[in-house]
């Protein structure tokens, strides 16, 4: 098998060849068709998260087919599955026992603490794989496995208000905007200053307004979701959220949030973060996405160009999502 490996944070990935691993008890071996390039991968590669496993194969938006199974696994050979960020939970801690496995005390994360999908093959826990449509394009399915799932969890935490702001119109926001519009909500898209292409893209997906993150929207928001890893957006979002509204921070990493006046938080506004996902999130969203007619905009890269894909994401040069196709 071939894989792109991170040997040291802050350095380029390197191509490695090795024997195809064999699945252990409870695991499946998946031959990868596509793997999305997520901003979390960028945080791992750039060393912005606490050190996980090294060396590590990044990638956690994996689409592929089961080619071998370990003891106790009933997944049929040839089945197409998706493998997300959450790769294992202990099942024993207080969070697992109370249906909050996203907060598990002893988790494993795909592409961070266990090898991920920047490769031709990957071993995964069968319990954390999800059946995917057979007739869909693998590359367009891949972003659903994190951008879609974390977006969905963020969306649910934002509440049921009719006006929703999305800060950072990338992979997650372009999926979530389609769901929100389908549900009859009014979407306001906030982008980097002067990013006309992203603003036009947001309007093409049904956004009622698109503008710079430093601009106020034309009307107050019931909630805002921040996907951009920019802490300064938190007080900006609080300024334009209604009384009783929510600001949801949807990323695993964010720069420091600057100090702000208590008056921005008063009147029962709230700030909340989203951590990981649960398997129930995945089951819910993967059922909703086809009903909402979600389509993903992707730029495809061969596996050997993973560093280029990461650099394009880092530089804000993507519309939608980047996907590696082995």
CA distance 100 to 109: 16
| Residue 40, φ and ψ in degrees, nearest 5 | -60, -35
Q: Distances from the Cα of 149 to the Cαs of 16, 140, 244, in angstroms?
A: 30, 14, 25
Relative to beta strand 27-37, strand 121-125 is antiparallel
SS3 of 301, please?
strand
Over residues 114-168, the pLDDT tens digits come to: 999 999 999 999 999 999 999 999 999 999 999 999 999 999 999 999 999 999 9
Least Cα distance to 41 among 19, 58, 65, 61 occurs for 58
SS3 of 207, please?
coil
The pLDDT of residue 30 is: 98
Kindly report the pTM of this predicted structure.
Answer: 0.94
Residue labelled with tokens 């093959």:
121
| Residue 50, φ and ψ in degrees, nearest 5 | -55, 145
Q: Distances from the Cα of 19 to the Cαs of 3, 122, 270, 284, 302, in angstroms?
A: 11, 11, 50, 36, 20
The Cβ of residue 51 has, within 10 Å, a number of other Cβ atoms equal to 11
The pLDDT of residue 51 is: 83
Angle at 99 between CA 95 and CA 103, to 5 degrees: 40
Low-confidence spans in the chain with pLDDT less than 70: none
H or E segment and range at residue 204 = helix 196-204
CA distance 280 to 234: 28
């Amino acid at each position: 098998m071939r894989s792109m490996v991170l040997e040291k944070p802050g350095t380029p990935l390197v191509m490695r060849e090795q024997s195809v691993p064999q699945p252990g008890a409870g695991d499946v071996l998946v031959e990868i068709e596509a793997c999305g390039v997520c901003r979390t991968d960028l945080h791992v590669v750039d060393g912005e998260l606490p050190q996980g496993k090294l060396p590590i194969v990044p990638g956690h938006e994996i689409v592929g087919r089961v080619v071998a199974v370990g003891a106790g696994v009933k997944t049929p050979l040839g089945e197409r599955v998706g493998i997300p960020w959450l790769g294992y939970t202990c099942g024993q801690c207080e969070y697992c026992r109370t249906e909050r496995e996203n907060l598990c005390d002893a988790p494993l994360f795909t592409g961070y603490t266990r090898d991920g999908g920047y490769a031709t093959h990957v071993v995964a826990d069968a319990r954390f794989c999800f059946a995917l449509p057979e007739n869909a394009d693998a590359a367009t399915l891949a972003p659903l496995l994190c951008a879609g799932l974390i977006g969905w969890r963020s969306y649910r935490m934002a509440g049921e208000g009719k006006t929703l702001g999305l800060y950072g119109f990338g992979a997650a926001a372009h999926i979530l905007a389609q769901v929100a519009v389908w549900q009859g909500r009014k979407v306001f898209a906030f982008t980097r200053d002067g990013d006309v292409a992203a603003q036009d893209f947001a309007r093409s997906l049904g956004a009622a307004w698109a503008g710079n993150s430093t601009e106020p929207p034309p009307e107050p928001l019931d909630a805002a979701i921040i996907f951009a890893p920019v802490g300064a957006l938190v007080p900006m979002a609080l300024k334009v959220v209604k009384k009783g509204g929510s600001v949801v921070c949807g990323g695993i990493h964010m720069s420091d949030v600057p100090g702000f006046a208590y008056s921005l938080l008063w009147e029962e506004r709230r700030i909340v973060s989203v951590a990981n996902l649960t398997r129930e999130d995945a089951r819910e969203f993967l059922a909703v996405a086809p009903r909402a007619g979600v389509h993903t905009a992707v730029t495809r890269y061969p596996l050997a160009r993973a560093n280029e894909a990461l650099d394009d994401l880092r530089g804000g040069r993507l519309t939608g999502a980047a996907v590696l196709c082995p």
